[in-house]
């Protein structure tokens, strides 16, 4: 690295190869552009019965390979494609393979909270390892402990800095960071520290996968601007119900920063009609085009992933990217 902190070891950079699956080509392009490397090709097709077939289009023997694939909807398709690509890369003698998974799906089933249920986060960790991943690079996991499901190195990035930069320009007043549920306290606390703001928590109960109910708000909200933070927006119920309760409790501007925009079912329509004034979502998952709300603004985590990939490649610490927000 030179004095400006730029990577200048071109010879070693030659060993870095970036591939992308089909889940999020736009983010993969943005990562490759920030890295100033040309994305390598994968031919992907299907047999008549739907089986995925891939062919790695260039030599990866002895290379440091990064394969970018979010396991977002269609989740099973994208996960299977990633596993098949990993297998192909391993059999092609890549020196090291890093699975770059901006959105790690199946992470919400991370413990046996009822009898006779699976732990899919662990299952996916096993599948990735068996398929050939030597390392994993991911962002805002649903629960930090999912890291422990891997016996290979996993680097965990946080989107908070990307959102901090974005919301600082909005100059919100008397800001309170709000977690829409008790499970999100750690994440909200990290945001509160970064934004130098107060913290509040919505005590939510999930009645069905689609419906949530707010029980209490813990913290002072009246007359303040609030920023709801969460790892995932899926059906939108948690966020919309939390915003309603916050408005009733006297919140002024209500914004949200969500890392992964799963946006299933009628989430966008719900958001459109909700008390949320403005919502920033990262591009870890491609957002449905033509179905977007004017309230939604996409912020890119491409630069963050590019920095992390470079640091992994050059065997440098990546903790400088998130040291100040360790939870
Ligand atoms: C739950 O623990 C997660 O952090 C999110 O709050 C949840 O997945 C959001 O789901 P929905 O948008 O369907 O309420």
Digit-coded pLDDT (tens) for 122-150: 999 999 999 999 999 999 999 999 999 99
Task: Give the lowest-confidence range in 43-47, 179-183, 247-251.
Answer: 179-183
CA of 43 relative to ligand 1 center, distance in Å = 35
Mutate to test the pocket of ligand 1, among 238, 244, 285 (most ligand atoms within 8 A of CB): 238
Q: What is the pLDDT of residue 115?
A: 97
Ligand 1 site residues (CB inside 6 A) read 180-181, 183-184, 212, 230-238
Same domain, 203 and 225: yes
Take atom 2 of ligand 1 and give the residue whose Cα is closest: 183
Q: What is the pLDDT of residue 3?
A: 52
From the CA of 235, give the closest atom in ligand 1.
13
Same domain, 49 and 171: no
Confidence of residue 8 (pLDDT cuts 50, 70, 90): low
Same domain, 269 and 285: yes
CA of 77 relative to ligand 1 center, distance in Å = 22
From the CA of 212, give the closest atom in ligand 1.
14
Take atom 13 of ligand 1 and give the residue whose Cα is closest: 235
From the CA of 209, give the closest atom in ligand 1.
13
Q: Are strands 135-139 and 154-157 parallel, antiparallel or unpaired?
A: parallel
How far does CA 225 lie from the centroid of its chain? Answer: 25
Mutate to test the pocket of ligand 1, among 234, 237, 284 (most ligand atoms within 8 A of CB): 234
Same domain, 144 and 171: no
Tell me how far apart the alpha carbons of residues 142 and 156 are, in angstroms, rounded to a whole number: 11
Same domain, 190 and 267: yes
**Residue 195 included in any domain:** yes
75: CATH? 3.40.50.2020
Domain count along the chain: 2
**Residue 102 included in any domain:** yes
pLDDT tens digits, one per residue of 227-276: 999 999 999 999 999 999 999 999 999 999 999 999 998 999 999 999 99
**Residue 237 included in any domain:** yes
**Residue 327 included in any domain:** no
Same domain, 164 and 266: yes
CA of 184 relative to ligand 1 center, distance in Å = 10
Same domain, 171 and 117: no
Same domain, 123 and 111: yes
From the CA of 230, give the closest atom in ligand 1.
4
Same domain, 54 and 122: yes
Tell me how far apart the alpha carbons of residues 72 and 49 are, in angstroms, rounded to a whole number: 22
Task: Give the lowest-confidence range in 39-53, 54-68, 163-177, 254-268.
Answer: 163-177
What average pLDDT score do residues 5-10 get? 52
Tell me how far apart the alpha carbons of residues 282 and 302 are, in angstroms, rounded to a whole number: 9
Domain that includes residue 30, residue range: 10-158+302-321
**Residue 5 included in any domain:** no
CA of 232 relative to ligand 1 center, distance in Å = 5
- Output Rg (C-alpha) for the chain, integer angstroms: 20
Enzyme catalytic residues:
204
pLDDT tens digits, one per residue of 263-310: 998 999 999 999 999 999 999 999 877 667 899 999 999 999 999 999
Tell me how far apart the alpha carbons of residues 232 and 110 are, in angstroms, rounded to a whole number: 15
Same domain, 171 and 269: yes
Mutate to test the pocket of ligand 1, among 75, 142, 213, 232 (most ligand atoms within 8 A of CB): 232
Tell me how far apart the alpha carbons of residues 255 and 85 are, in angstroms, rounded to a whole number: 39
Of 69, 96, 71, 125, nearest in space to 15 by CA: 96
Same domain, 109 and 249: no
**Residue 326 included in any domain:** no
């Amino acid at each position: 690295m030179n004095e400006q902190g730029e990577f200048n070891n071109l010879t070693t950079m030659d060993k870095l190869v970036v591939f992308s699956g089909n889940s999020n080509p736009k983010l993969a392009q943005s990562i490759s552009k920030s890295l100033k490397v040309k994305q390598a090709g994968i031919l992907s097709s299907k047999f008549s019965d739907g089986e995925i077939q891939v062919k790695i289009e260039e030599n990866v023997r002895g290379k440091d390979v990064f394969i970018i694939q979010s396991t977002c909807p269609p989740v099973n398709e994208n996960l299977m494609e990633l596993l098949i690509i990993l297998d192909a890369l391993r059999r092609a003698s890549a020196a090291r393979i890093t699975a770059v998974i901006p959105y790690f799906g199946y992470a919400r089933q991370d413990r046996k909270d009822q009898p006779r249920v699976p732990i899919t986060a662990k299952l996916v960790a096993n599948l990735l390892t068996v398929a050939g991943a030597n390392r994993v690079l991911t962002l805002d996991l649903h629960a930090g402990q999912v890291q422990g499901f891997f016996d290979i190195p996993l680097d965990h990035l946080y989107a908070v800095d990307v959102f901090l930069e974005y919301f600082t320009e909005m100059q919100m007043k008397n800001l309170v960071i709000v977690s829409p549920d008790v499970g999100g306290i750690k994440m909200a606390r990290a945001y509160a520290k970064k934004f130098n703001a107060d913290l509040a928590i919505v005590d939510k109960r999930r009645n069905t996968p689609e419906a949530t109910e707010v029980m209490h708000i813990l913290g002072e909200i009246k007359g303040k601007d609030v920023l709801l933070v969460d790892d995932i927006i899926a059906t939108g119920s948690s966020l919309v119900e939390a915003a309603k309760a916050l408005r009733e409790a006297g919140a002024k501007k209500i914004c949200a920063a969500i890392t992964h925009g799963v946006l299933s079912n009628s989430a966008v329509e719900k958001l459109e009609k909700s008390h949320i004034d403005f919502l920033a979502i990262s591009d870890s998952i491609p957002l449905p085009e033509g179905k977007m709300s004017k309230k939604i603004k996409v912020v890119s985590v491409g630069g963050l992933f590019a920095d992390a990939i470079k640091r992994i490649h050059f065997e440098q610490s990546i903790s400088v990217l998130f040291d100040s927000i360790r939870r």
